[in-house]
Structure 1
Amino acid sequence: MSNCTPKPESPLIIGHRGAMGYETENTLASIEKAMELGVDMIEIDVFRIQTGEIAVFHDERVERLANSGGRIEEYNFFDMKKLILDGGHRIPILQEVLKLVDHRVPLNIELKGTGTAGPVQHIVSYYTAQRGWAPDQFIISSFNWDELRAYRALDPEARIAVLVEGDPLEALEVAAELKAEAINPHYTQVNAEKVARIHQEGFKVYTWTVNDPADFQNLKAMGVDGVFSNFPDQMR
């Protein structure tokens, strides 16, 4: 009879904006790299642009990464596709990412812009009905809790994660309201007690953005369920 304590299960390794430590974030190259590195899930960010498409991009403005300026939401599809990002990449739309991933790995779609819930849910439902994706291969997250409420109203079964800047315990109430799967705090905002409390309330804990293997080991010891990383291979 063994008296060894079981080791905590290893957290899911989630590629942050693909594998942005290696390729320009949220591009097809970054997403392809994340899959090559064997991630458990990929996280991307989305905005709805002027012509209605869902652009895969993180910032409200394009200057940091692109050869032009302005708000991403004010671009039309044609002009957005002319933007050249660092490394010579283009901004993909959500359908291009889905086609590339081809249900090989689950996808965490973070709703950055307002008005994203409806179009994203429409695309997700099409890809689950017609393109071989399973509903549980998508998880929808946002710091904009009203956007999550809108998504929940459209899809009572969707996997939802509540993003939170500060103390994750402050998100417990909205997580319960949304019947969320997880609360996603910054890794510096958690400790073993908070993780245990969130688990007691029935939610998982996915922490962002973890790039130091020592931090990863600490979080693993705390019992977190997943980590977002720019260097997912270094978290193994």
Structure 2
Amino acid sequence: MKSLKTFGFFFVALLILSCENMNTPLVIGHRGAMGHETENTLASVQKALDLGVDMIEIDVFKIRSGEIVVFHDANVERLTDGEGKIENYNYNELQKLTLDGNHKIPTLQEVINLMDKQAHLNIELKGNNTADRVNFIINYYVKEKGWPLDKFLISSFKWEELKRMRALNSQIGIAILTDEDPLQAIAIAQELDALAINPYYTTLTLENVDIIQKAGFKVYPYTINEKKDIKSMKQMGVDGIITNYPERIK
């Protein structure tokens, strides 16, 4: 009986130790907190802030009149009462569209103003020719509004846009988005002096997470919503978790 008790105490001690050693990743709200509010809206961004995220991820396009707007799809049909490519709209036309939940499509500046330095902002360059204008907007907020440059992170599947961003801004954080073997992103990450690689979570293993981190890059996988997958990512030691439900990470 005594040996059984000793084993029990030993098991509990190991369990506590393993919990203490489990990585605590950054909580990154996907398109705000899109599990609760319409994605990429001011309401979704505010919900993510209310849930205490460390970072918010949004998507941006440059529209015909030159503004950078926060939206995910190339076409507006899925989420709005309009139709056609978002890049073909001018600002006044876009304001006439209504998103699910009676929201409007915000500009990048509206999102940054709402966040007011409360969290880091991961801006995914979704559309073409977005780097120049996004960099201009970020420089304004850094120089005129006191935002630390390291509050911003630029990511994209369009690696040419990331190269353009790096040419414009030698200091801004860059994350390489990939949905394939994440180890294949290491070369471009090294070329661009990136901060992170953002892989699709099902492509990750303990081994490739370790290789990426030893190469000097953070690992911010997307999009992890189920508790078993969140636990798996933590056990792999990822540095951040992009999720629709920020409250589930903690």
Cα deviation per residue 1:67-126 (whole Å; 9 max; x = unaligned)? 010000000000001100000000000011111111111100000011000000000000
Q: Kindly provide the amino acid, as one letter, of the partner of residue 88 in structure 2.
A: E
Cα deviation per residue 1:18-65 (whole Å; 9 max; x = unaligned)? 000000000000000000000110000000000000010000000000
Measure how far apart 1:8 and its partner are.
Answer: 3.0
Of the three residues 143, 152, 173, the one matched with 1:159 is: 173
Measure how far apart 1:200 and its partner are.
Answer: 1.1
Measure how far apart 1:9 and its partner are.
Answer: 2.7
Aligned to 2:155: 141
TM value normalised by structure 1: 0.97
What is the correspondence of 1:50-69 to structure 2 with a 5 Å cutoff? 50-69=64-83
Aligned to 2:38: 24
Of the three residues 124, 129, 132, the one matched with 1:118 is: 132
Of the three residues 158, 171, 185, the one matched with 2:199 is: 185
Aligned to 1:210: 224
Q: Kindly provide the amino acid, as one letter, of the partner of residue 112 in structure 2.
A: L
Of the three residues 86, 109, 126, the one matched with 1:72 is: 86
**Does residue 90 of the first structure (1) align with residue 100 of the second (2)?**
no
From the CA coordinates, give the structure whose radius of gyration is larger: 2
**Does residue 227 of the first structure (1) align with residue 241 of the second (2)?**
yes
Runs (4+) off by over 2 Å: 2-6
Q: Kindly provide the amino acid, as one letter, of the partner of residue 12 in structure 1.
A: L
Give the Cα separation in 1 of the matches to 2:96 and 2:114: 20
Q: Kindly provide the amino acid, as one letter, of the partner of residue 105 in structure 1.
A: A
CA RMSD of aligned residues (A): 1.2
Measure how far apart 1:234 and its partner are.
Answer: 1.4
TM value normalised by structure 2: 0.92
Aligned to 1:197: 211
CA contact (8 A) 2:181 2:203 kept: yes
Q: Kindly provide the amino acid, as one letter, of the partner of residue 204 in structure 1.
A: K
Secondary structure in structure 1 of the residue aligned to 2:81 = coil
Question: Unpaired segments of 5 or more residues in structure 1?
Answer: none
Measure how far apart 1:177 and its partner are.
Answer: 0.2
Percent of aligned pairs with the same residue? Answer: 53
Give the Cα separation in 2 of the matches to 1:27 and 1:204: 27
Give the Cα separation in 1 of the matches to 2:232 and 2:179: 20
Secondary structure in structure 2 of the residue aligned to 1:220 = helix
Secondary structure in structure 2 of the residue aligned to 1:88 = coil
Give the Cα separation in 2 of the matches to 1:81 and 1:68: 11
Secondary structure in structure 1 of the residue aligned to 2:248 = helix
Give the Cα separation in 2 of the matches to 1:207 and 1:190: 8
Give the Cα separation in 2 of the matches to 1:54 and 1:119: 7
Measure how far apart 1:214 and its partner are.
Answer: 1.3
Question: Unpaired segments of 5 or more residues in structure 2?
Answer: 1-12
